[in-house]
Amino acid sequence: MFKSIVVGVDSSEHSRHAQTLAFYLARRLHASVLGLHVVDMLSLEEPLVNDIAAPADVESYIETPRLRETLTARGRKLLEDFAAAAAVEQVSAQTALDFGLVANQICERSRSADLVVLGHRGSHHADMLSSGIVANVARKALGTVLICPVAARELRNLVLAYDGSERACKAMHVAAELASNLGAALTVLSVGRDARAVELRLEQARAYFAPYGLNVEFKHLSGNAAQEIVAFIGRTAADALFIGAYGHNRIVEMMLGSTTEQVLRNAPCPLFLSR
């Protein structure tokens, strides 16, 4: 299970949600946490200086070195606050300040972690995360990525979206292990109009979960996959969703859209994305 967790740290509310959920998982799973802040090198490009400086309540620096110093100091303060919060929560934590392209640095850190936890987006330009960066990390990071769009709750009611794909199978493995470790209930959803195909997928899932002895329900929904998944989460007040990350190739996604992307944009709960 997750023993090494990387958390993206910035000043946004979503980042605080991610921090809270990461600390909760670290306590329950006896894991260590790395708080990571990335000073985005794109932020140091001159056309963005005024956009970044204004929300940060600093004067508009024309010289990139001075702006770099300001953003570096800001990042260090955020990491100090993160470390202090981890100490209060009695969570084993370290911090790291990186420079570079945000998604690339997070993905590089994912190589030595079991889980990457991110807020859904930052609150303004001065924060390091945007929805595009989050999606990029979800596509490229090793292991599992947990996205937090809302305040976290104790994870007691979990949902797995299962379509039989390789990435959905990986999401199923993560869901089974976490539900087992947390003693949580789990619902497995499979969406499709072909009842026989859906039932075959659910039979695969039943066979996989049987040895775990978990409290698992299996449901067949018909309709648009993303819409049905999001609606089910809303009706049941699920605490988290497990889903495969971006199952189509990029060309198909550009034409048809990705179920993962649509769910990520609209789901009212944290999402575990596996690839």
Taking alpha carbons only, the member of 98, 242, 61 closest to residue 163 is: 242
Integer CA distances (angstroms), 51 to 41, 55, 75, 185, 228, in order: 14, 7, 17, 45, 39
Cα separation of 157 and 128, whole Å?
31
**pLDDT 10s digits, 83-124:** 999 999 999 999 999 999 999 999 999 999 999 999 987 544
Provide the pairing of β-strand 216-221 with 240-244: unpaired
pLDDT band at 150 (very low <50, low <70, confident <90, very high): confident
User: What pLDDT is recorded for position 265?
Assistant: 85
Strand pairing partners for 118? 147
Secondary-structure class of domain 4-148 per CATH: alpha beta
- Domain ranges across the chain: 4-148, 157-274
User: What pLDDT is recorded for position 58?
Assistant: 47
**pLDDT 10s digits, 24-71:** 999 999 999 999 999 988 876 644 444 544 554 444 444 567 888 999
Domain 157-274 bears CATH identifier 3.90.1150.10: no
**pLDDT 10s digits, 179-202:** 999 999 999 999 999 999 999 999
- What's the pTM? 0.87
User: What pLDDT is recorded for position 43?
Assistant: 72
User: What pLDDT is recorded for position 130?
Assistant: 67
Same-fold call for 4-148 versus 157-274: yes
74-78, 82-86, 127-131, 189-193 — which is least confidently predicted?
127-131
User: What pLDDT is recorded for position 28?
Assistant: 96
